[in-house]
Every structure is written in structure tokens, then in C-alpha cells.
Homo-oligomer: A and B are copies of this chain.
Amino acid sequence: MGRSPSSMMEAVTAREDGVLAGRGLEELGGIDEGSYIPAYVQLSRILQEAVRRGILRPGGRIPSESELGRIFGLSRMTVRRAVSLLVDAGLLDARQGSGTYVVNPRTDGGLFLVPDFHEEMLSRGGTSSARLLGVRVVPAAGRAAEKLGVKRGRRLIYLERLLEGEGEPLVYERKYLLYDKSQPLLEGELGHGPVSELFAGHPRYAPVRSELELKATVLGKGEAALLGREAGEPAFCLEQLVFAANDLRVIWGWLILRGDRFSFRSLQAEVR
């Protein structure tokens, strides 16, 4: 708590290599032990703030983990956790044997989160629903057969839905699903919620993961009519390939997201 011996202060502040003044960090405050916010979160916020204020500069080295531990009265493991948050977020770069550096920021690239449609609607405070436009059993052919890795002619479920939110159609969805004889194919089930729930009772077909590809597109005539827009307007196309256990491909399809209603913000340097 009190002032440290001069030897330590020198170790921290005597750097003149343009890297940092360790003392600046302490001015941002210490760790509040009584707080409900964990120490590692507090420290990572202090470090973030130091970068934001220019106390720690891009390209510069931050104090070592042991130094930070001494400055803030934390164990090295706790310091590491704080630093790891920022390394994961892309704000810091840890180089073994050398030190941890403030990253020179990339200004034209970043991480984007494309949320699940129903979650997105809920987080916007609205309600969402799905209007079933059509379902039928079709024989596999062309790209659907290829993407799902099944023989041509195998039976698939094909469905189209319109996902609505805020009283408007926002997303147009087309999907091919593996068809199983024991599958009920209840049309009533498809009105709401994610299609993947259709497989809920079929462990063999239960979705485990999905691969997504986000592309730019323009609305076709039919799509525009369904979405209440004009043909030629910009939109996102989110192609999805859904896998069950054993890498069995169970769904292939795509969503068309209205470009006038969807955009995505970067998560760059955000610490969760």
C-alpha cells in the first residue's frame, strides 16, 4: 500500500527506451479488494484505459508480469489472466522471452458477430416469428446433394420461411434437410424457432456445429417481393452447412438478410 523502496521504483520508472512510464499506470488507480469485480478484470480495464489515454503506446512494451504483480499487489497468475484477456482481444501481443507489447492497431479489419436471428430480435426488444412459405419432400439433386454429401435421389426436406420482426419481413430462408422416415414433418412445428429443433428427438441428426459463409448479394425479383423491397437492393447472404455428430451433414441452406436492416459492428478490442 505505502510507498515502495526506491530500488523498485527505479526498476519500474527508469526505462527511457520510449516504452512506458510504469508510474503512469498507478495514477489510474489500484485494485479495489472489496469490489465484486474480480481483480483480473479490474487490472485489464486499467491496462485498457492506459492504452486509450496514451500512457501505454502502440508498439511499446508494457511492464512485465512480475512488475505488474508488484505494482498492483497481485500474484503473477492473476496478472497473466488480465493480460490474457487483452491478448485474446487483440490489444496486446505477448512475445515469449521478450515482453508484452501494445499492438499497432489494424484499422481496416476486425471481428464481427452475426447473431442468431431470433436472439437478435429479442435483444432489440422486439418479437420475432417465422412464416412458413412451403415444405415438401424432394429428391436430392445438384448442389444440395453435393453439399450434403448424399446420393442424387435421396429424399430431402425442402423448406422456405420468412422470418419476421418488428412487424416486417426481414429474412428469407431456404433450406434442405436430411429426411428420415421416422421423422414426423409436422408443419405446425416449423412456424416458430430454429429449424434445428426439428431434429431434437433424433440424436443421430442433432446439430452439433455449423459452418457459415457471409456473402454480399442483391435481391432477386422473388426475394424482393417477399421482403417488401425492390429487386436489385443490397443484401447479405448467409450460407450455412450444419453438421451432426460424426460430421454427418444434415442441413444446407441460406438466409437472405435485408441490407437496409442489417449491418454488423466490429468487436475489435472488446473484452468480454
A96 interfacial by beta-carbon distance below 8 Å:
no
Contact B105 A196 (CB under 8 A): yes
Residue of B nearest to A245 (CB): B54
15 residue pairs bridging A and B, Cβ less than 8 Å apart: A51-B245, A54-B203, A57-B203, A58-B207, A105-B209, A107-B242, A108-B194, A111-B111, A112-B214, A214-B263, A214-B266, A215-B259, A216-B235, A216-B262, A234-B235
CB distance from A21 to the nearest CB of B (A): 14
A99-122 residues at the B interface, CB under 8 angstroms: 104-117, 119-120
Partner of A58, one of B106, B208, B216, B264: B208
Fill in one digit per residue for A49-73: 1 if any B CB lies within 8 Å of its CB, else 0: 0011110011000000000000000
Q: How far is the CA of A49 from the CA of B110 in the complex (A)?
A: 29
A206 interfacial by beta-carbon distance below 8 Å:
yes
Oligomeric state, in number of copies?
Answer: 2
Q: With A54-B245, A196-B107 as given contacts, are A268 and B88 in contact (CB-CB < 8 Å)?
A: no
Fill in one digit per residue for A105-146: 1 if any B CB lies within 8 Å of its CB, else 0: 111111111111101100000000000000000000000000
Contact B264 A213 (CB under 8 A): yes
A92 interfacial by beta-carbon distance below 8 Å:
no
Residue of B nearest to A212 (CB): B266
Q: With A112-B114, A112-B214, A263-B215 as given contacts, are A53 and B245 in contact (CB-CB < 8 Å)?
A: yes
Closest 10 CB pairs of A and B: A54-B245, A216-B259, A109-B116, A212-B266, A216-B234, A215-B263, A107-B210, A214-B264, A106-B116, A112-B112
Q: How many of chain A's residues have a CB under 8 angstroms from any CB in B? A: 65
Contact A108 B113 (CB under 8 A): no
Q: How far is the CA of A105 from the CA of B208 in the complex (A)?
A: 6
A35 interfacial by beta-carbon distance below 8 Å:
no
